[in-house]
């Protein structure tokens, strides 16, 4: 039987790549980067064949002409390569990806979109860059809509995590599978509600999200300018509470939030916590180990890393 051998949750920020030298809190940045390396080493130690890579979309792989709540890459996968992240084709475990997609549909519980030629952005390629560096693994990319309302509910994301676990376990053979959730923690991006933009910058953003499929690079410079001009809005108290829930195996408590309540508590970027929640559910909410938390206003984000090792839990080693 195939098994899930590790779970990892990790924040992402392309400003790590593009503005490292301008980072003021270098000690925090280095601790976060070291935690990514530690998580990468944990992945190497557990020897996965495949990583189910759960990430968000930042309108470089999906656009407002079509936004599914959940999309599984079942064929080719190409990373857009923005801001120094990996670019080009990524190795996909096609048999497992198609099995997961088919199992979800056959269960009658989910109808995910699928893509035989999926384009991902740093919502997943940041994890490829730092967590999968040098590892000989294939991926099953799973993209969650977290920025174009209406969003899938947090409860629905948790349920999907459990269903993904069941699908992995039912895959014939002996695949060793890790699950990575990329995104969060608290942050607020200067992004509008696409349904009601206000002002030139917001109108520009919505236009880029609607018209960018053929030429998303055309909009990228101004997008970056708008983001760099934004003031940081972090909520370390919320981040600590969430990571504490993860450590206790209680991340499912996040499902009590509506999308509006989550944004009010921790910013629109905290909607990416759906990826962590889905990952934790796929690990049956086993207690996690926090590797780092660093508030990084220069990167506009509360940056966290945690791992869930089911073997350690079974051995009574997890806190």
- Residues 119-135 have a mean pLDDT of 97
**pLDDT tens-digit profile of 128-153?**
999 999 999 999 999 999 999 999 99
Q: Is 233 exposed, middle or buried (0-12, 13-18, 19+ CB in 10 A)?
A: middle
Instruction: Output the six-digit token pair for 191.
Output: 């992004």
Residue 61 has pLDDT above 70, yes or no: yes
Q: Determine, yes or no, domain membership for 202.
A: no
Which residues does residue 140 pair with via DSSP β-bridges, in sequence order? 52
Q: Determine, yes or no, domain membership for 210.
A: no
Q: Cis omega before residue 185 (within 30°)?
A: yes
Q: Is 101 exposed, middle or buried (0-12, 13-18, 19+ CB in 10 A)?
A: buried
Q: Determine, yes or no, domain membership for 89.
A: yes
| 213-216 CB contacts, 8 Å cutoff, 24+ apart | 213/63, 213/65, 216/59, 216/60, 216/63, 216/80
Look at residue 159 in the predicted model and tell me its pLDDT.
98
Residue 317 has pLDDT above 60, yes or no: no
Look at residue 318 in the predicted model and tell me its pLDDT.
44
Neighbours of 177 (CB within 10 A): 26
As a whole-number percent, the residues of the chain with pLDDT over 90 amount to 91
Q: Determine, yes or no, domain membership for 196.
A: no
Catalytic residues: 122, 187
Q: Determine, yes or no, domain membership for 198.
A: no
Residue 38 has pLDDT above 60, yes or no: yes
Q: Residue 57 to residues 66, 68, 147, 189, 241: CA-CA distances in angstroms?
A: 12, 11, 7, 13, 25
Q: Determine, yes or no, domain membership for 223.
A: no
Look at residue 99 in the predicted model and tell me its pLDDT.
98
Residue 34, C-beta contacts closer than 8 angstroms, at least 6 positions apart: 292
Q: Which of 46-55, 207-216, 246-255 has the weakest average pLDDT?
A: 207-216
- For strand 3-10 and strand 176-182, is the pairing parallel, antiparallel, or unpaired? parallel
Q: Determine, yes or no, domain membership for 178.
A: yes
Look at residue 173 in the predicted model and tell me its pLDDT.
85
Averaged pLDDT of the chain: 95
Q: Cis omega before residue 299 (within 30°)?
A: no
Residue 268 has pLDDT above 80, yes or no: yes
pTM of the model: 0.95
- Residues 58-67 have a mean pLDDT of 93
- 164: domain CATH number is 3.40.830.10
Q: Determine, yes or no, domain membership for 176.
A: yes
**pLDDT tens-digit profile of 81-98?**
999 999 999 999 999 999
- Residues 39-51 have a mean pLDDT of 98
Q: What is the dihedral of CA 167, 280, 155, 98, to 10 degrees?
A: -30
Q: Report the domain count for the chain.
A: 1
Gap between the Cα atoms of 206 and 110, Å rounded: 29
- Residue 289 lies in domain: 3-189+230-314
Confidence of residue 314 (pLDDT cuts 50, 70, 90): confident
Residue 1, C-beta contacts closer than 8 angstroms, at least 6 positions apart: 169, 174
3-state secondary structure the chain: CCEEEEEEEECCCCHHHHCCCCCCCHHHHHHHHHHHHHHHHHHHHHCCCEEEEEEECCCCCCECCECCCEEEEEEEEEEECHHHCCEEECCECHHHHHHHHHHHHHCCCCCCEEEEEEEECHHHHHHHHHCCCCCCCEEEEEEECCCCCCCCCHHHHHHHHHHHHHHHHCCCCCCEEEEEEECCCCECCCCCCCCCCCHHHHHHHHHHHHHCCCCCHHHHHHHHHHHHCCCCCCCHHHHHHHHHHHHHCCHHHHHHCCHHHHHHHHCHHHHHHHHHHHHHHHCCCCCCEEEEEEEEHHHCEEEEEEEECHHHHHCCCCC
**pLDDT tens-digit profile of 169-189?**
999 989 999 999 999 999 999
Look at residue 134 in the predicted model and tell me its pLDDT.
96
- Residues 271-283 have a mean pLDDT of 98
Are 141 and 55 contacting, i.e. CB atoms less than 8 angstroms apart?
Answer: yes
């Amino acid at each position: 039987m195939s098994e899930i051998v590790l779970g990892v949750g990790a924040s992402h920020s392309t400003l790590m790549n593009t503005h490292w030298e301008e980072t003021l809190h270098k000690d925090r940045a280095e601790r976060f980067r070291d935690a990514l390396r530690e998580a990468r080493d944990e992945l190497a130690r557990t020897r996965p064949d495949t990583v189910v890579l759960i990430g968000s979309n930042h309108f470089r792989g999906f656009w407002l002409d079509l936004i599914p709540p959940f999309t599984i890459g079942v064929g080719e996968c190409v990373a857009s390569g923005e801001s120094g992240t990996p670019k080009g084709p990524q190795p996909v475990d096609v048999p497992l990806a198609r099995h997961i997609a088919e199992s979800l549909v056959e269960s009658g519980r989910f109808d995910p979109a699928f893509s035989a030629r999926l384009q991902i952005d740093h919502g997943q390629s940041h994890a490829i860059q730092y967590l999968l560096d040098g590892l000989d693994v294939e991926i099953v990319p799973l993209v969650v809509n977290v920025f174009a309302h209406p969003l899938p509910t947090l409860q629905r994301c948790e349920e999907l995590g459990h269903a993904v676990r069941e699908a992995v376990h039912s895959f014939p053979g002996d695949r060793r599978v890790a699950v990575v959730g990329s995104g969060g923690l608290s942050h607020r991006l200067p992004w509008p509600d696409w349904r009601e933009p206000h002002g030139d910058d917001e109108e520009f953003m919505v236009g880029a999200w609607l018209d960018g499929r053929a030429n998303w690079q055309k909009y990228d410079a101004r997008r970056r300018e708008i983001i760099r001009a934004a003031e940081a809005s972090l909520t370390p108290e919320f981040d600590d509470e969430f990571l504490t829930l993860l450590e206790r195996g209680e991340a499912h408590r996040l499902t009590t939030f509506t999308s509006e309540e989550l944004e009010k508590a921790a910013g629109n970027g905290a909607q990416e916590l759906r990826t962590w929640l889905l990952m934790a559910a796929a690990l049956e909410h086993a207690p996690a180990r926090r590797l780092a938390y660093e508030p990084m206003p220069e990167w506009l984000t509360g940056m966290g890393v945690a791992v869930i090792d089911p073997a350690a839990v079974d051995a009574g080693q997890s806190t």
